Every structure is written in C-alpha cells, then in structure tokens.
Chains A and B, each alone.
Chain A
Amino acid sequence: MDTTTATPTLNYLNNGYGLKSWLLTKDHKRIALLYLWSITAFFFLGGFFALVIRLELLTPAADLVQPDTYNKMFTMHGVVMVFFFLIPSIPAVLGNFLLPIMIGAKDLAFPRINLLSWYIYVLGGLFTVAAAITGGVDTGWTFYAPYSTSASNSNVILAGVGIFITGFSSILTGLNFIVTVHRMRAPGLTWFRLPLFVWAHYATSLIMILGTPVIAITVLLVAAERGLHLGIFDPALGGDPILFQHLFWFYSHPAVYIMILPAMGVVAELVQAFSRKNIFGYTFVAFSSLAIAIIGFLVWGHHLFVAGQSTYAGLVFSIISMFVAIPSAVKVFNWTATIYKGSVSWDSPMLYAFGFIGLFTIGGLTGLFLATLGMDIHMHDTYFIIAHFHYVMVGGAIFGYLGGMHYWWPKITGRMYPEGWAKFACLNIFVGFNLTFGPQFIVGYLGMPRRYAMYSPEFQVWNVLSTAGATILGVGYLIPMIYFTWSLKNAPLAGANPWGARGLEWETPSPPPTENFAVTPVVTEGTHQYAPSREVGIV
C-alpha cells in the first residue's frame, strides 16, 4: 500500500466545511463525530468529579470538601458517566460510524432521526449541566425515593428532566439500529455473516428500546411527585419506595448491558483482526449477545436483596442472575480460543482487548458474589460493589471503547497514530485502573460503605492506594487525547486497510466517502474468514 497517496478527493470529512455542514448533517459518520466530541466533553466532566471524590477520600475526615459537596460530586459523577458517557459511548460513536458501513448501507435507515437523537442528547446534557451549575444534585445517580422525592433539597427535577430527555436519544438510536440491521443489509449479507459488532449492537438496541421508556416514566414520576405532590413513591404520601426500586432497576440493570455489550462486540472484532483469524464458535458468540440482552431483563431484583423484597423473589432473581454468567463465560472462552493458532500482533488495540478479557473476567466473577444471596447481605452498598462495577464499566466498557477508537481511528480520520505512545498509554491505564479499583474490593469486604464523605481511619491505607491509582489513571486518559489530536495533521496516512483486516469497513477508502460505497456491495462470504476454511468440529 502506498502510504504517500493523498486522501481520496472527496470523503465525508472534506465534503463541506462550514458549521452548518456539520450541525445539519444527515451523514451518520459526521453525527458519530458530533457524538464523539460531546461524549468526550462529558467524560472529562465526569472525570473531574471523580478526581474530587478521590482527593477527598485521601483522608478519613471531610477536609477537602464538605459532605454536602461530596454527595453532589458522586451524584454528578454517576449521572454524567452513566447517562452521558457510558450508555452513548460505543453505540453512538463507533456504532453510528461503523454499523451502516459494516452492513454495506449508505446510511442508517432514518438519518434525520439520527441527527435528532444527537440534539436530544445535547439538550438533555444541557439540563443536567444546568442542574450541576445551579447547585447540583445530591441523591446519588440512583435517585432512590423517598429521598429524591421528598427529603433532598437539591436540583432533582432539573437533573431528572435531563435524564428523561436523554433517554429519548438512546431510544431513537436503538430504533435506528434495529431497523437498519433488519432492512438495510447489503445483498448476500445474511444474519450469520454479520460482524459480531453488529450482533452486539443489535442486542444493545433491544435493551435501549425495551428498557429506556421505563426509566423515562420513572424519573418523570419522581419529578411529578416533587413538583405536584403526587403520592407515588413516598410512604408519607401513601406511596411505595420499593416500587421505585423495581421500576428503576428494570431499566438500570439492563442498562449495564447497554454499556458492556457493545464493548464485547468491539473486542470480538479486535480479537479477530489482530489474530487474523475468524472467531471461535461464531453462532455461540452471536447468540450469547442476545441471551445477555434478554436474560438481563429478568435479574433486576438482585439490587433489592436487602431492600425488603420478598424472600422468594430474592431466590428467583438470584438464580436468574446466575444464568447471565453463562453467556458471558461463553464469550470469554470463545475470545480466548480465537487467539489460539492465530497470527497475533501486539498492536495497541489488541493490548486493550487483552486487558478487557482479563478485567472483564474479574468484573464478571465478582458480580457473582453479589448475585449470591447470603454474600450480598454483607457486600450490598459497600465498596466491593463500587470495585465490581468499575471493573465492568472501566475495565470492560472503557477498555472496549479505547480499543475500538484505536482500531478504527485510521478509518475515521485516514491517519495512523503514534503506536509507541499508544502502547504506553494502554499500560498506564491498565496499571492505574487496577491500583484504583483493586484495593476497593478489600476495603469493601472490610465494610466501608459507599457514598461516605468521611470514613473510619482503618480504611485509609486502601483509600490512599486507590487515590494514587486514580492519579495514574487520569494521566493515562489524557495521553490518547494528545496523540490523537496530534495525529490528525502529522501521522502517516493509513490507506483503506492499514491492519490487513477483513470486513466491509476496510473495503472503502479512509476516510470513507459520504455515500460509504459508490455502489452497494454484494457480500460473498462471512466477514472474518482469513485462511481457507478447515472444518474442525461444527460451526
């Protein structure tokens, strides 16, 4: 490949330069970049809140910030990271950019709705930022009633409206993906030839459309209860706070699969591309995404084991929660088996994939502690939970997101990035991450409750380690920002297929033209076959 060739004369980036050509674009690739900028802003906003939290927890007393401020910090950290970063991160950026290209379509089925969903996201974000600026919210991202409906005197309604609005952005994205996958696939691209990235996003979209409306109505009811004194959740008004928890977790548990499933899809692509080998057990990996999405809707009650839910309900939710582990385990084993007899390169995206597999394994297995009824009694609402879900959300979702950003960066921008720096940043993030959240498992079992501005002195040593790790982690996040920006002008051109990978997205120029493909391609085989087929076992 001749890397000195200039970028193709017309691509989606140079097809119009004005502000209007971006803000009114219907091109899924440009919308993906609009999302990229906005979620990056929210990521660093959420990161700032995390920084304040970690610095405050350096000492047992509330000395850096008052408990009131601390409570607002962890609330805003959760709200921003969950609703404005993790949920839209991979689907709205990488999914938006790649899904149509991967299935050989010119765009998503509803380009205008796609743009609308970004504006809705921004509007919801503005509400939430307004809530943060005008005094903050102190309910925790879970908005548990009756604290949120009656006791808190912070900006619950404003933040709730922000989340309500943003929910529709998520719904519209999911709707667009589902219709696109069903109706826009290129000729020859059968369901079992689809890239696993597409399967994962399809499963994610199912959760988005089936779960998000329930959280929307729930936060709306919280706002109505605060504003109009409707008695829905507050016992003092005749309501039932457990009902809030049921409605909240009906969405918010599956929502964690919105965050992790797309990352699993990314990792499946990375493992195949950098082993130059088709996935081991394609159908099992594909269906495990659907299984996670569906079973994920049946397990929410494991958040209510100590909340006064009935004992029998606890049993049912516990055993179904165990079942979610099975498709997750199937995925991990299949990714591992894919590397076997591959041609493994150690490029930075693959390092993120290695990190993902290991950290997700820990995150997933520690989740079983919490699904185990007796164990959860002790661990519920301690730092063990914090550690567990950060292993899944950061070690899983963010590692997947960063791995994907590195893998597809040449496709998105047409340029490579400095590989040495990328490897360094990856290592930095891996070390910083483990140092931040590893100690929290221990301090959690010791009994340190979450959401504590002040804590007992015997927990301090672990908190100091955690804060030290967070500092390293924070630096690790900044490095890619710098070299990605630098690469836009200075890095070598990538060409259409810099990794020697297979898949439709590598058969169009980098950056792709606005129409993706001049003519709709006709797919002739599964998208990840590298070597001639050799039958071992079954497909």
Chain B
Amino acid sequence: MFTNFPFFPQAASEQAGQIDALYFFLVAVTAFFTALIAILVAVFAVKFRRKHDTEVGEAIHGSLALELLWTIIPLGITMVMFVWGAQVFFHMTRPPKGAMEIYVVGKQWMWKAQHMDGAREINELHVPIGRPVKLIMGSEDVIHSFFIPEFRVKADVIPGRLNTMWFTATKPGRYHLFCTQYCGTKHSAMIGWVTAMEPAEYEAWLGGGGAGGTMADAGAKLFQDLACATCHLDNGQGRGPVLKGVYGKPVTLQTGQTVTVDDAYIRESILMPQAKVVAGFQPIMPTFQGLVTEEQLLQLIAYVKSLGDPQGATK
C-alpha cells in the first residue's frame, strides 16, 4: 500500500462506509464530466485549429435540444446527489434512542470529555465499539468544531448552546481528533485522540476513572451548593417547578406554548430563566450566567436527567 502516499483515511465507524460510498459516486461524476469537457475541448481545438489567417468559424447559433439536454441531465444528477446526501445527513444528525451519552466541552485550546459515570479526560476520548455514542457538546469561549476523520463525523461546538453528534465506532484503534473551526492561536494544537475499544475493555477502562462519583452525583452536589434546592422542592410547594421526573416530558409555559424538557431547555433555563417560564410560576429565578462553568452546567443537566429516570441516566 501507499504508506507514504495515503489516499483515504481509515473507515472506523458505521457512518464512514456511507460517506465513502457517496464520495466515490461524486468523484466518479466529477471525473466523468471533467474528462468529457477536457476531451471535447482538446479534440475541437485540434481538429478545428485555424488553417489560414483569414479563416472564420461557421455561424451556428445554438440548439434548443442540446440546451435542454445539458440542463436536464445535470439537474437529474444533482438531484440524485441531493437526495442521497440528505439521507446520509438525516441519518447522521439523528442519534438513535438509547445511545450512550458523553459530554464534551471545548475551550481554548483543549477538549474535555466527561463520561456519565464520572470518568473525565482531556484531549482523549475513549468509546466502546459497536454501540452508538452520542456526544453532547458545549463551548466555554468561542466556536470550535469536533472532527474525527476516521469516523467521518463533525459538528461545531458553539458557545451559548448545546450541539450533538453521534457515531458508532466499528474498529478498535486510536484515531485523530481535530478542532476544525478556527479558534485562535493554538487552534492547530487543539487536537487529541479517540480510542475505540472492545466493550469489555471500555468497561475496564471506565472502572479506572470516575473517582469523584458519577456526573449526576456531581450535579446533585452543585444543586445543593447553588441553593437550587431551596426553590425546586420535590413536594410541589416550592417557588420553582418540581424537577423530579420532568426530563423528556412536555411542560406548558406561561405563554401557552409547550416545550419538551431536554438538555437544551434545561441549559437555557439555568442561564436565561426568564426566557421560557413554566405556567403557574413567577419569573423570579436569578440567572446563573457567569456563575457556573459549561462543565458544571452539563453536570446539572445530568443530575436533572437522572431525576427523570430512576434507573440512572446512562441506561
């Protein structure tokens, strides 16, 4: 093989095969039309080259049939590209239910990952193979982008909101992790490694981390420390809504609209409590913008999530 002239990155995820198939189709279309045009131009340029200085070309004005032909054929081909690409895109943007969740925070210039059971790592990400992994990602400063070429997945990590992406690794190994959204001086050093492991190995690796308890535990501690618990009582008598069992359920807002309580809504409610107030409550909650870090936010979210699912959020 061309070890010194690599042409294709390894395909180490379930998605990689789909992307590669699409890629080969696009390359084939490009090669065909480039060759077609190049050959036509070359043949015409040689065959009809000027024989004497006063020669002129024939007067041909055009052909509606040809114009229609080279309008409709490219249109058809591009529509194939669109539909195919959209199918892959839909598949890639919708994480399957029950995917294993890992929280990722980008900051200048490192990637911090936190597993549900508390294991933390920096510029490294350990994932099991054969199981969908969903990354819930936030940024502490500017826009970053989380890119694993061997998995063919990428998503921007945007300050002020959460973004997700998912993949199913298929091949054990160590793969590049790149930041692809320019983020400042050490942008090119904001790199790391993704390690895909056999599930059993992954469990063993997890056992080695997580000294500080699970993410939900850390969130529960914050919930007390930040005095959230003084208003969000479990008995329904508090000044804030009951959080037990609320995750994943729809709630009605003051405005009459309904929203589903998901990670993004919990995050928004902590930072901008006035934005979407639950019906029957006063907009009295103070904002925690600037008081909690992006990582702590994710711990709080994990905690609220664990309240919604007595079995534990990682299941």
Nearest chain A CB to B52 CB, angstrom units: 9
Q: Which residue of A lies closest to B3 (CB)?
A: A458
Q: Bits for A447-462, please: 1 = Cβ < 8 Å to B, else 0.
A: 1011111111010011
Q: Are A368 and B26 in contact (CB under 8 A)?
A: yes
Nearest chain B CB to A52 CB, angstrom units: 15
Q: Which residues of B contact A424 (CB under 8 A)?
A: none
Q: Which residues of A contact B26 (CB under 8 A)?
A: 365, 368-369, 372, 375
Q: Are A276 and B57 in contact (CB under 8 A)?
A: yes
Q: Which residue of B lies closest to A377 (CB)?
A: B154
Q: Are A235 and B57 in contact (CB under 8 A)?
A: no
Q: Which residue of B lies closest to A74 (CB)?
A: B182
Nearest chain A CB to B137 CB, angstrom units: 10
Q: Are A339 and B154 in contact (CB under 8 A)?
A: no
Q: Which of A236, A337, A378 has its CB near the most chain B CB atoms (within 10 A)?
A: A378
Q: Are A343 and B55 in contact (CB under 8 A)?
A: yes
Nearest chain A CB to B107 CB, angstrom units: 11
Q: Which residues of B contact A453 (CB under 8 A)?
A: 187-188
Nearest chain A CB to B11 CB, angstrom units: 11
Q: Are A236 and B44 in contact (CB under 8 A)?
A: no
Q: Which residues of B contact A315 (CB under 8 A)?
A: 86, 89
A421 at interface by CB-CB < 8 Å: no
Q: Are A307 and B158 in contact (CB under 8 A)?
A: yes
Cα–Cα distance between A539 and B60 once the two chains are bound (Å): 9
Pick from B66, B71, B143, B182: contact of A451, CB under 8 Å: B182
Looking at the complex, which of A121-129, A509-517, A524-532 is the stretch in contact with chain B? A524-532
A residues 103-157 near B (Cβ < 8 Å) are 138-140, 142, 144, 146-147, 150-152
A residues 494-539 near B (Cβ < 8 Å) are 500, 529-539
Q: Which residues of B contact A357 (CB under 8 A)?
A: 37, 41
Nearest chain B CB to A416 CB, angstrom units: 15
Q: Which residues of B contact A241 (CB under 8 A)?
A: 143, 158-160
Q: Which residues of A contact B153 (CB under 8 A)?
A: 377-378
Using known A-B contacts A322-B79, A358-B41, A537-B61, determine if residue A447 contacts B176 with beta carbons closer than 8 Å.
yes
Cα–Cα distance between A530 and B58 once the two chains are bound (Å): 8
Q: Bits for A417-437, please: 1 = Cβ < 8 Å to B, else 0.
A: 000000000000000000000
A332 at interface by CB-CB < 8 Å: yes
Q: Bits for B286-313, please: 1 = Cβ < 8 Å to A, else 0.
A: 0000000000000000000000000000
Q: Are B61 and A278 in contact (CB under 8 A)?
A: yes
Looking at the complex, which of A24-32, A170-178, A251-259, A279-287 is the stretch in contact with chain B? A279-287
Q: Which residues of B contact A326 (CB under 8 A)?
A: 71, 74-75, 78
Q: Which of B7, B92, B159 has its CB near the most chain A CB atoms (within 10 A)?
A: B159
Nearest chain B CB to A137 CB, angstrom units: 12
Q: Are A341 and B58 in contact (CB under 8 A)?
A: yes
Cα–Cα distance between A42 and B84 once the two chains are bound (Å): 42
Q: Are B89 and A536 in contact (CB under 8 A)?
A: no
A346 at interface by CB-CB < 8 Å: yes
A12 at interface by CB-CB < 8 Å: no
Interface magnitude class on chain A = 35 or more
Nearest chain A CB to B135 CB, angstrom units: 13
Q: Are A378 and B154 in contact (CB under 8 A)?
A: yes
B18 at interface by CB-CB < 8 Å: yes
Q: Are A358 and B34 in contact (CB under 8 A)?
A: yes
B155 at interface by CB-CB < 8 Å: yes
Nearest chain B CB to A147 CB, angstrom units: 4
Pick from A147, A376, A450, A539: contact of B183, CB under 8 Å: A147
Pick from B4, B60, B191: contact of A536, CB under 8 Å: B60
A11 at interface by CB-CB < 8 Å: no
Cα–Cα distance between A530 and B34 once the two chains are bound (Å): 29
Q: Which residues of B contact A456 (CB under 8 A)?
A: 176, 191
Q: Are A447 and B150 in contact (CB under 8 A)?
A: yes
Q: Are A536 and B63 in contact (CB under 8 A)?
A: yes
Q: Are B56 and A140 in contact (CB under 8 A)?
A: no
A185 at interface by CB-CB < 8 Å: no
Q: Are A277 and B154 in contact (CB under 8 A)?
A: no
Using known A-B contacts A308-B158, A330-B67, A530-B57, determine if residue A461 contacts B49 with beta carbons closer than 8 Å.
no
Cα–Cα distance between A361 and B74 once the two chains are bound (Å): 13
Q: Are A329 and B189 in contact (CB under 8 A)?
A: no
Q: Which residue of B lies closest to A337 (CB)?
A: B66
Cα–Cα distance between A144 and B179 once the two chains are bound (Å): 15
Q: Are B8 and A280 in contact (CB under 8 A)?
A: no
Nearest chain B CB to A12 CB, angstrom units: 29
Q: Which residues of A contact B204 (CB under 8 A)?
A: none
Q: Bits for A5-26, please: 1 = Cβ < 8 Å to B, else 0.
A: 0000000000000000000000
A227 at interface by CB-CB < 8 Å: no
Q: Are B22 and A375 in contact (CB under 8 A)?
A: yes
B residues 169-217 near A (Cβ < 8 Å) are 176, 178-189, 191
Q: Are B62 and A236 in contact (CB under 8 A)?
A: no
Pick from A71, A282, A377: contact of B185, CB under 8 Å: A71
B residues 75-96 near A (Cβ < 8 Å) are 75, 78-79, 81-82, 84-93
Q: Are A308 and B156 in contact (CB under 8 A)?
A: yes
Q: Which residues of B contact A343 (CB under 8 A)?
A: 48, 50-51, 55-57
Q: Are A531 and B161 in contact (CB under 8 A)?
A: no
Q: Are A242 and B158 in contact (CB under 8 A)?
A: yes
Pick from B63, B189, B191: contact of A538, CB under 8 Å: B63
B225 at interface by CB-CB < 8 Å: no
Q: Are A277 and B152 in contact (CB under 8 A)?
A: no
Using known A-B contacts A276-B57, A531-B59, determine if residue A374 contacts B87 with beta carbons closer than 8 Å.
yes
Q: Bits for A74-85, please: 1 = Cβ < 8 Å to B, else 0.
A: 000000000000
Pick from B29, B58, B145: contact of A277, CB under 8 Å: B58
Q: Are A345 and B50 in contact (CB under 8 A)?
A: yes
Using known A-B contacts A71-B187, A240-B160, A336-B44, determine if residue A529 contacts B75 with beta carbons closer than 8 Å.
no
Q: Are A446 and B82 in contact (CB under 8 A)?
A: no
Q: Are B60 and A340 in contact (CB under 8 A)?
A: yes
Binding site for A on B (CB under 8 A): 4-9, 18-19, 22-23, 26, 29-30, 33-34, 37-38, 40-41, 44-45, 48-51, 53-67, 70-71, 74-75, 78-79, 81-82, 84-93, 108, 141-143, 145, 147, 149-150, 152-156, 158-161, 163, 176, 178-189, 191
14 residue pairs from A and B, CB less than 8 Å apart: A278-B59, A280-B61, A280-B62, A282-B62, A308-B156, A339-B48, A340-B60, A374-B84, A374-B89, A380-B180, A449-B180, A451-B188, A455-B188, A531-B56
- Identify 4 new A-B residue pairs, CB closer than 8 A, beyond the known A337-B62, A529-B59, A536-B60: A280-B63, A369-B30, A377-B19, A445-B23
Leading 4 A-B pairs by shortest Cβ distance: A447-B149, A235-B160, A374-B88, A277-B57
